[in-house]
Structure 1
Amino acid sequence: MIERFVTRKAAVAALALSCAAGWGPAVTSPAAAAPFKLEGEPKAAMVLFGPKNDGGWSQAFEESRVRTEQALGIKIPVVENIKESATAIRPAVELFIKRGYNIIIGTAFGYSDTFKELAEKYPKVAFVNGSGTTNGPNLESFYGRSYEPHYLCGMAAAAVSKEGKLGFVAANPFGVVNWTVNAYELGARQINPKATTTAIYTGAWNDPVKERAAAEALAGQGIDVIGQHVDTPTAQIVAQEKGIFGTGHHRDMKEFAPKATVCSLVWFWDRYLIPTIRKIQAGTWEPGPYGAFVSIKDGGPDIACCGPAVPKEAVAKIMSERQAIIDGKKIYAGPLTDREGKERVPAGGVLSDGDLWKMDWFVPGVVTQK
């Protein structure tokens, strides 16, 4: 998975460079002033980065594809295992276009540049790309505010922890991972103000061996709930083996660890895709100049919660907080300091999207290890 690690590392660099001008996914070109007009009936197709049964990122898109088909009453063919190189992406997409498909759904950062080139070459085709960084008159990249579900899962974690000692298996110390670790701790402290979160960074997005080592190390420290922002269910499997609890990422990890998993971040991309395709069909779609950064309210990330071990009163509080987020609550609202005591968000303020994408600090209660 070295290729995926490199491209995601490049993604964070691209996001950091774009923060000054927008929320994150790159400021490549503003959207057209007029809505995009699709010619003919909408025919959508999906290009998957990995296998549709990978248990994580690609499978979440596959499941969203099926739900989108059912909601719209259309068929969305899919091609899988299209890696992040122009020589793989271009022929797959152009074959769909040749067959009359006029809405192309991408699923990887590494598609960004090629999708930009294809969108310019085929201006009458609509392109959307999950975790991409390029945008244009007929192209919109989209990602989710994943820190919102992790805040809620942190609450569930603290609710089942005996002493409030939580752990977190994280991939790389980038903004998109750091904001999940911080949100996890902020959520946990809504239940237990003394809760701590010890995070171990594996240095890879998908490495079951390193994930197992990290999870076992956390369990060995007396931690009794393990969260994650990595691609495989290994951390949850280890939690179940150790007789402790865990929270998952990408999909509902109860599939792999039914006794251990009390909450998971789940990508519901259909909540973005369904209204977007409807807008494209209606001729009202206006791609955002900086892409779409979707919340629980707007579609993308949500939670699968809660496992039977979570007390009913805690479940009620979690769901109340979820509704508050939908109603406009901001996770990173002031006053907020980092663990060194430096003020990061003043009272009455909210952390900007640009500062979210370049987050390189941790809230009090987070302990980081390599």
Structure 2
Amino acid sequence: MTSAHLKEEIIAYSKTIGIDQIGFASTDPFLTLKERLITHRELGYESGFEEPDLDKRTEPSRLLPEAKTIIAIALAYPSKMKNAPVSKKGDRRGIFCRASWGEDYHHILRRKLEKLEAFIEEKVPDAKSVSMTDTGELSDRAVAERAGIGWSGKNCAIISPEFGSYMYLGEMVTTVSLEPDQPIEDQCGTCNKCVDACPTGALVQGGQLDSGKCIAYLTQTKGFLPDRFRKKLGNRLYGCDTCQVVCPENKGKDFHHHDEMEPDPEVVKPKLEPLLTISNREFKNTYGSISGSWRGKKPIQRNAIIALAHFKEESSLPALYALLKEDPRPVIRGTAAWAIGTIGGGEQSENALKQAKEREKNTDVQAEIHKGLEILLNEQL
């Protein structure tokens, strides 16, 4: 079988297993990417979730010495939720970003890649392959860009002419030699909507992201959220879609090709108050199957408290008083103190904060109680 014929068969097979887009790239080192990553590190823009070894991120041969080709795949995910519940006063809801709707995409991509690997091994018995998603060493976006899946947008996402940026990406490094595809020319042009719309200014310029300011990253941290970002969070529990929603290339893009990606509205747009007291077991049973659960319940609960403050939801004050008094975790107690002050509640809230101030031993929580009192008393002036 010729290389060209094998490539055609791989493309045809990929469609039968639900891969929406497939592309092929060389295994040459990603030299331009490496320069960008070095600059990114020097500027302090890394999130800390990345593979720290820049050579592994940019040299495919380090992952598979005889590598000849990288196969990139993309799966389109929905951008619109059917029967989305309404968030209303007294019954406020948070939101998980679209990339966390449905089953954890890592599992979905892995199954597709395993099937693709098995197909290639059937055709080329001595083939060796290594597959990965965004938890692997290579940069999904750099591979997808080189393989012609789409261009790298100013919002730091790969944008496909067919699917926009609502895509999950994965790749396979293989010893099989296949003709590479041509990259797509950048089509962002003078459009700067994503940069202008970023709530925290994390998009420093087109294609450059300060991860430490990105709401998608901030929602996954476990400590106190820095003050300057709290009001920017809105009701986001995990992730942020702003730079995708405003992108003109995503207008009208909404694909429902994969049943396992369909969101459960009650899971991805949940009521906020029940999250405050959810047990570990309940959290795992309800949210364990989605990608947004990977950091555990604490960041989600902290974000839910901030969301209630965003809504100034007075009906949640009794639950927040209880957290401030009883929760063993300083981040939760402290964030609750700040939220109480932000929501208000007059004398009752003032008393709750003053009593907490008397008993609290943790200096970080004491600082949050002080902030809460200051906000509350300024509101009453």
With the shorter chain as reference, the TM-score category is under 0.3
Report the structure, 1 or 2, having the larger helix content: 2
Larger Rg: 2
Report the structure, 1 or 2, having the larger strand content: 1
TM-score by length of 1: 0.23
